[in-house]
Copies of this chain bind each other. A is one copy, B any other.
Amino acid sequence: MQLQQASTADRPRSGGATRWAAPRDAAPPPQGGLDLIEQFGTRRLARRGQEFYAAGDPAQFCYRIVSGCVRTVGLDEDGRRQVAEFLLPGDLFGFDSLDTHHLSAEALTDTVVVCYPRRAVDALAEQHPGLARRLRDLTLRNLRRAHEKMFLLGRKSAGERVAAFLLEMAERTAPGAEGTHIALPMTRADMADHLGLTIETVSRTMAQLCREGAIASCKSGIEIRDREALANFCAGGTRH
- Please tell me which one of the listed residues B82, B132, B133, B149 contacts residue A155 in the complex, with CB atoms under 8 A apart: B82
* Residues of A136-179 contacting chain B, CB below 8 A: 136-137, 139-144, 146-151, 153-155
Q: Is the CB of B125 within 8 A of A129?
A: yes
Known A133-B125, A146-B146; contact A97-B140, beta-carbon cutoff 8 A: yes
Q: Report how far A129 CA is from B142 CA in the complex, Å.
A: 22
Tally of this chain's copies: 2
Q: Report how far A125 CA is from B130 CA in the complex, Å.
A: 10
- Please tell me which one of the listed residues B74, B125, B148, B155 contacts residue A151 in the complex, with CB atoms under 8 A apart: B74
A133: chain B residues within 8 A (beta carbon): 125-126, 132
* Contact residues of A: prevailing secondary structure: helix
Known A129-B132, A136-B132; contact A102-B147, beta-carbon cutoff 8 A: yes
Q: Does A110 contact B (CB under 8 A)?
A: no
Q: Does A195 contact B (CB under 8 A)?
A: yes
What does the 1/0 interface line of A190-226 toward B look like (CB < 8 Å)? 0001011000000000000000000000000000000
Can you list 30 A-B contacts (CB < 8 A)? A74-B147, A74-B148, A74-B151, A76-B151, A77-B235, A80-B151, A81-B155, A82-B147, A82-B150, A82-B151, A84-B147, A84-B150, A96-B140, A98-B137, A98-B144, A103-B147, A125-B132, A126-B129, A126-B133, A129-B132, A132-B136, A139-B143, A143-B143, A143-B146, A146-B147, A146-B150, A153-B154, A153-B196, A155-B193, A155-B196
Beyond known contacts A82-B147, A153-B154: 8 more, CB 8 A cutoff: A74-B151, A76-B151, A96-B143, A125-B129, A136-B139, A139-B140, A139-B143, A146-B147
